[in-house]
Structure 1
Amino acid sequence: MSPKKSFSEQARWITLGTTTATLSFIAFMVFDEKGSQAASLLILFPMNWEAIFIGSIHRIVGTLMGSACAIIIQALLYTWGDNLIPVTVFYLIAVMLLSAEHLRERSGPAKGFNAVINLCVFYGLKRSGSDVFFSPLYRFSSVLVAIAMVVSCYLSRIINAKS
């Protein structure tokens, strides 16, 4: 268990977390990307780096796995993207593989569960004549940006603690 933080340190971390979450929310509203803001906000929750750290890692990895599967499926089905049968078959195979991963983990809603949820969201976005390639690509890249922001905040905390 980590040592008790002072009031000023707690206030600083709360301010940093709420400012980052608010800026993320504003950016997603300005660019009209409502589908990916939840992923960014879920990743910003572990700003205290204590009890929910492992859960956030599972959410991050699951989001990346589901997004990567959707990107691969869309790349494989590029010319057949309007045909519902191959799209459904590929998504069903991916959901079965990720569900098996979820069962192997035996830890509740971990990586496999989050990957299945992400894949189901992308399948739900699929419409006739639409391309769902950029939505998972955007979610994948936004998660990586959010990870980079959290890691940079954490590294600045470590550097400031040593000085």
Structure 2
Amino acid sequence: MKIKFTLLLILISSVSHAQMTHQDSLNSVVNEYFRLNVKVFQSGSSQSDIDSLFSLFSEDFTYLHPNYGGTYSRKDLYDGYINNQKNGRYNGRVADIKVTNRISGLNAVSVEKRFVTRKDDTLSEGEPQMTLFEFRDGKIYRIHEFW
């Protein structure tokens, strides 16, 4: 009887641990996404910084932002990042991205975030914004902005 009970506890523990590990890995990718975005947004960032960011995305990745033109393919978004960098739009004004709330589910993470901007050596937090990340095979395959 003790052996069956012990085996049951081990099984329950391993199932809980596996689920926790999955959510932790998704959250880790989201954290890396924000870290790399902040790096790209700085003056002096390089194309390799953009390439590092895009390595988090699946080949069939899409970016949905209804308030900024709708749906973008991976290539469209990549070209936009390169264009913004070449035109000096990544100038360090975005100092950080602060995640204030997070809900993790099966192959999805929803975050509430705020852009932290720099102006004349003063930092200020923007309005809260919602972003949904969807995953497939450990890669981000869709980002949907709700702001």
State TM-score, norm by structure 2: 0.31
Structure that is richer in helix per residue? 1
State TM-score, norm by structure 1: 0.28
Q: Taking CA–CA contacts closer than 8 Å with sequence separation of 6 or more, which of the two structures ends up with the larger relative contact order?
A: 1
